[in-house]
Amino acid sequence: MWLLLLAYLGGVLTILSPCILPVLPFVFARTGQPFLRSGLPLLLGMALTFAVVATLAAVGGGWVVQVNQYGRWLALLFVALFALTLLLPRLAERLTRPLVAMGGRLSEAAGHDPRPRPGASLLIGVATGLLWAPCAGPILGLLLTGAALQGANIGTSLLLLAYAAGAATSLAVALLLGGRVFAAMKRSLGAGEWLRKGLGAAMLAGVVAIAMGWDTGILARVSTASTGGLEQVLVGRLLGGPQDKGGAMMAQNVLPADQPEAGMMAAGGAMKMAAGASALPVEGQLPPLDGAVQWLNSPPLSAEALQGKVVLVDFWTYSCINCLRSLPYVKAWAEKYRDQGLVVIGVHAPEFAFERDVGNVTKAMKDLGITYPVAIDNDYTIWRAFNNQYWPAHYFADAQGRIRYHHFGEGEYAESERVIQQLLREAGNTKVAGGLIQADARGVQQAAEMSAVQSPETYVGYQRSENFVPQASLAPDSVAAYSVPTELALNDWGLRGQWQVGAESAVATAPGAAVVYRFHARDLHLVLGPGPDGQPVRFKVLIDGQAPGAAHGVDVAPDGSGQVTEQRLYQLVRQEGEIGDHTFSIEFQQSGVQAYAFTFG
C-alpha cells in the first residue's frame, strides 16, 4: 500500500517539472468550462499517453531481458541516463525535444479552439502526457524501468495507475485554480530544480554502487536493475516471486523449515497412487516454458517442441539444501531414462541476489555435474506459469503435454521413479528399464536425519529473521557492534562484533565478527559469500567452544578452520551418533563476508 501511495505522491509532485510550462496556458484556458466536456477528456488524454509510454517500455524492455543476464546492465545504463537528465537540464531538453515539439504542436492546434469540445480537450491531454512523461521525475523513471524489465503485470500496472492518478490530481487542481497555480509554480521553480538535481544525484550514486558491487543486497532489491533489496520489497511483492522456503522450500513462509514431508500435502493422493495407469489423473496442460532470461546446456525449449516426450520439470535454486539433497535422484533419472524418452528440465528460480548471476549458476551446475537443460528463471516467469510455491518442486508431464503428477520437497523418490516408468510406457516405449535407482548422495547431498532435526531454517537478514537475541539490539541497515548473551535457549542466535544487517543478509564490517547459534540437528549449513572484492575470507568454527573434530562438515577441517571462497551453501557441521543441543559459532578473520541463512539436516 505504501508503494502505491509513494507512486501517487510522485505523480502529484511532478507538476513542478518545468517542461510542462509550455502546455499549461492552454490547460488554464479551459478553466471555467464544463468539466465533463473539457476537463475530463483532458485528464483521460494524459492518462492514455502514460499508458502508451508504459506499454512501449514494457514491450521494448522485454526484448532486452531476453538477451541474457547483461540486460540488467542496459537497465542500469537507462537509469544512469535518466539521472543525468535530472542533473543536466540541457541534456533533458535535447533528449525530450521531439516529444516536446509534438506536444507543443498538438497543444497549439487544440488550443485555437476555445469551445469546450471533448476532442480538443483530449488532444490537450495527449499533449500534456507527451510533455510530462519524459521529465516527470525519478518515480516515473523507476516505474517505467521496472515495467520494461518485468513485463506486463498487475503490480506495475497498479503503480503506474497510481502515478497517473497523482499527476491527474495535480492537473485537476491546476484546472480549478487556473492562473494562481501557474504564478506559484513559476516562483517555486528554483527549489524544484534543486530537488530534481538532488534526486538525480542520489539515483546516479545508486547506479555506481550497484555497478561496483558495493552492496549485493541492492542487486536483489532494485527493480530498475531487475535484481534484488528493493526488489524483494517491490518486484518480489508485485510479481509473486519466491519469498521464503521450508523443507519443501516454500515461497510464502507457510511450511515449517527443513521438513520435506510438509510440502507433500499439496500433492494429495496422487503420491500414493502411482502404481497403475488409471491412478494418475490429468492435472492440466504443461505451461509455456518461455520467459527464461537464458538457457544453459540447451537451446530454448517449448512445451510444443516437447510433445511426444515425457518431461520432468524440476524447480530449484543452487543454495537450497532441499534442492541439493534431491538433486542426485533427478540426475540419475535423467541419465537412466534419457534414451527412453525422458527429458529433464531444471528451472533455476533464485532466492538470493547472487543466485541471479548466470556465471554463479553455471559454475554451480558444473560443480554439481548437471548436464540436462536448465532455464534461468530470474523473473519467475515460468514459476508463475506453473503457479509454483516450492523448492524443490517436481512436475511430471506425459507425451501429450499433460501434467500427470507432482511432488514438492524431498523424499518419495521411489514413487516418482515409478511415475516416470509408467508415463514412458504410456508413450509407447515397450523397453522401459525396470528397477529403481540407487542415488550416490554424499556430503551436502546426503539425505537429512529428520528425526533429529529440531532447528528451523533461519535467515540472518532482518527481513525474515526470527529468534535473534537480543532482539532490541538489531540495527537495520546500519553498522553496529553486537554481543551474544552468555546463555542461549534452543534455536536462539546472535551476532558478535561489528556487522551491518541488511534485509537479505548481514555483512561483517570488521575482522573478528562472529555468528553464534544454539541448535539441535545432525547437520548445520550456512549460506555465505565473500566480500565485494571476491577475496577468500578465513573462518574458525567451534562447537560448544571446542574444535569440531569428527563433527566437522565437508567445508571445515577437523580443527574448525575453513574459508569462504564463493557465494553458496557451506556445510559446517556433520555429527555422528546421538544428537543433542549444541552451541555453534563461526568467527571470520577478515571483514566483508556475507551471511544469509542457516539450514539443518
The answer as to whether 242 is a domain residue is no
| Residue that terminates a domain, selected from 212, 234, 260 | 212
Are the CB atoms for 405 and 424 separated by under 8 Å? no
Are the CB atoms for 377 and 232 separated by under 8 Å? no
One domain, residues 64 and 164: yes
| Residue that terminates a domain, selected from 156, 188, 212 | 212
Burial class (CB in 10 A: 0-12, 13-18, 19+), 330: buried
The whole domain housing 181 covers 2-212
The answer as to whether 566 is a domain residue is yes
The 3-state DSSP class for residue 324 equals helix
The answer as to whether 551 is a domain residue is yes
> What is the reported pLDDT for 333?
97
Are the CB atoms for 458 and 527 separated by under 8 Å? no
Are the CB atoms for 531 and 590 separated by under 8 Å? yes
One domain, residues 256 and 119: no
One domain, residues 458 and 433: no
The answer as to whether 217 is a domain residue is no
The amino acid present at 95, given as its one-letter code, is L
One domain, residues 384 and 456: no
Q: Give me Rg for the CA atoms of the chain.
A: 28
The answer as to whether 337 is a domain residue is yes
One domain, residues 431 and 375: yes
One domain, residues 441 and 455: no
Instruction: Identify the residue whose cell numbers are 536425519.
Output: 449
Q: What is the DSSP letter of 467?
A: S
Phi-psi group of 326: left, alpha or beta (phi > 0 → left; psi -120 to 50 → alpha; rest → beta): alpha
Start-to-end Cα distance in the chain:
38
The 10s digit of each residue's pLDDT in 113-172 is: 444 456 666 666 676 666 555 555 445 555 555 554 444 455 656 776 777 777 778 777
Q: Are strands 374-376 and 342-348 parallel, antiparallel or unpaired?
A: parallel
One domain, residues 170 and 42: yes
Q: Are strands 506-508 and 594-600 parallel, antiparallel or unpaired?
A: antiparallel
Residues of the chain with pLDDT under 50: 58-59, 61-72, 107, 110-116, 137-138, 148-152, 189, 210, 213-241, 243-246, 252-278
One domain, residues 206 and 310: no
The answer as to whether 221 is a domain residue is no
> What is the reported pLDDT for 105?
56
Write the CATH number for 436.
3.40.30.10
Report how many domains make up the chain: 3
One domain, residues 122 and 17: yes
One domain, residues 301 and 171: no
The 10s digit of each residue's pLDDT in 214-237 is: 433 333 333 223 333 333 333 344
One domain, residues 173 and 266: no
The 10 Å CB-count burial string (b at 16+, else e) for 229-261 is bbbbbbbbebbbbbbbbbbbbbbeeebebbbbe
> What is the reported pLDDT for 343?
97
| Residue that terminates a domain, selected from 165, 196, 212 | 212
Query: Distance between CA atoms of 174 and 338, rounded to whole angstroms?
Result: 68
Write the CATH number for 542.
2.60.120.260
One domain, residues 395 and 544: no
